[in-house]
Amino acid sequence: MLFNSIDFAIFLPIVFILYWFVTNKNLKLQNLLVVIASYVFYGWWDWRFLTLIFFSTLVDYSVGMKLKTEASQKKRKVLLWISILVNLGFLSFFKYYNFFLDNFISAFSFFGQEIQANSLDIILPVGISFYTFQTLSYTIDVYKRKLEPSNDFIAFSAFVSFFPQLVAGPIERAKHLLPQFYKKRTFDYSKAIDGMRQILWGLFKKIVIADNCAEFANQIFNNSADMNGSTLALGALFFTFQIYGDFSGYSDIAIGTSRLFGFNLMQNFNFPYFSRDISEFWRRWHISLSTWFRDYLYIPLGGSRVGTWMKIRNTFIIFIVSGFWHGANWTFIIWGALNAIYFLPLLLTNNNRNNLEIVARGKLFPTLKELSCILLTFGLTAFAWIFFRAENIGHALSYISGVFSATLFEIPKFSGIRSALTTTILTGTFVLIEWFGREQQFAIQNLGLKWSLPLRYAMYYMIIVAIFWFGGKEQQFIYFQF
């Protein structure tokens, strides 16, 4: 079920009414409603994959309960590996089986050996990368005795399948989200209104910015051989804003929806395109995944508290694995490796934690130096996104070659360029609103709160009108494929 669909517009009020007016006096019943609603939400796409999420839930709940009583470290490690192998086994089969098979066949063909093997027609379950990492973090934390295992199967099931963030995050830690299912929730009007504002802004990001940018990004990338350099550069910029509006928009809707039900989810995007270096960018982009890899992969490998060569190794491992997490394509691996190359000079010179505060805090404008750093970081990021969006390595290289050609200085030419101008103006307006709201959790969190009530609601209605008036052709959320 899509957040930007009529189905969800009907589903959400029904669940909200049942949650606060029917089951609100019984915590276990309320949690059960969350589980049922979440399974309906997920099964709306394909009910067959409900067995996967249920089995994953059952395995990790059982492993957690067994870890609670098991004293033998050897047996505890076996239990941990059962959870890891089951969860990553499902993920690897559905997401990476054909990738490894095709590359295995290609490798033998290179040496003159022909292998006959058929790839499988596998449908990738939506959200499997997200809920797999969420439930894995639970097992790992219980194994390390950083978290008490849950003895409430309904609450644990609700944590794993919580519908607002089930299919595209944020990837919540059990230490943060699971305890919220143990406590009685009471309706908080101010929290609900704040959640509605965040949902509204998330829908604007998705429908007005991402979907419009997607139309032109797809047209340019799909016909890149026929485009001049300036058009290709414009296509990369359209995709840069498409993926941000799409993914951060989803996170905003997920976080805002959660607040309607009395839950607090972690911030997943913190205005990343205003970053002054690539290290700051990765502290602000897809925060739940970045911190997951930091805590469960980078630090266990030794992090940055090792020798120079080990630092380099660890950096490449975490970025390449992050790229591979996104999809079974060499383009994602190159994208991850490219970001590692961007990051290494900062790490090796101990400048990777220079910009911890939001840029120009308390000021209207950044300094010239800050602005130049923001533009450089944005340019490097947009360049890397070309690999992320391209169909394959050859497509990415030919696209980049086209960008850096003499035609880069020509006027962009493609069908619908006048409509693209409207999208460019909308995107520029969006960037300005984000800039003025960059010190908040989301851009319009405090916008208009000191205005008179009619003026404030006029602003909300203007955003709603913009969504319906300027909304682009409906596009699936990008991260559903991951």
- For each of the chain's 482 residues, which pLDDT tens digit applies? 788 888 889 999 999 999 999 998 999 999 999 999 999 999 888 788 899 899 999 999 999 999 988 888 999 999 999 999 999 988 888 777 666 565 555 555 555 556 655 655 666 677 888 889 999 999 999 999 999 999 999 999 999 999 999 888 799 999 999 999 999 999 999 999 999 999 999 999 999 999 999 999 999 999 999 899 999 999 999 999 999 999 999 999 999 999 999 999 999 999 999 999 999 999 999 999 999 999 999 999 988 888 889 999 999 999 999 998 888 789 999 999 999 999 999 999 999 989 989 999 999 999 999 999 999 999 999 999 999 999 999 999 999 999 999 999 988 888 888 889 999 999 999 999 999 999 999 999 998 888 888 899 899 999 999 999 888 777 777 766 66
Q: Is 473 found in the same domain as 365?
A: yes
Q: Is 471 found in the same domain as 370?
A: yes
123: phi then psi, degrees, rounded to nearest 5: -90, 130
* Among candidate residues 38, 478, 458, 13, the one with its CA nearest the CA of residue 249: 478
Domain boundary (186, 202, 219) is at 186
This prediction's pTM: 0.92
- Residue 321 belongs to some domain of the structure: no
Q: What is the C-alpha separation between 260 and 258, in angstroms, rounded?
A: 5
- Residue 452 belongs to some domain of the structure: yes
Catalytically annotated residue among 176, 286, 326, 395:
326
Q: Is 231 found in the same domain as 166?
A: no
Domain boundary (138, 169, 186) is at 186
Domain boundary (170, 186, 202) is at 186
- Residue 469 belongs to some domain of the structure: yes
The answer to whether residues 373 and 276 touch, using CB atoms and an 8 Å cutoff, is: yes
Is there a catalytic annotation at residue 326? yes
Q: Is 136 found in the same domain as 48?
A: yes
Q: Is 210 found in the same domain as 94?
A: no
Q: What is the C-alpha separation between 384 and 396, in angstroms, rounded?
A: 10
Q: What is the C-alpha separation between 451 and 469, in angstroms, rounded?
A: 25
Q: Is 467 found in the same domain as 371?
A: yes
Q: Is 118 found in the same domain as 94?
A: yes
Q: How many domains in the chain?
A: 2
Q: Which domain range does residue 235 map to? A: 190-276+355-481
Q: Is 172 found in the same domain as 204?
A: no
Q: Is 200 found in the same domain as 164?
A: no
- Residue 69 belongs to some domain of the structure: yes
Q: Rg of the Cα trace of the chain?
A: 23
Q: Is 181 found in the same domain as 206?
A: no
- Residue 473 belongs to some domain of the structure: yes
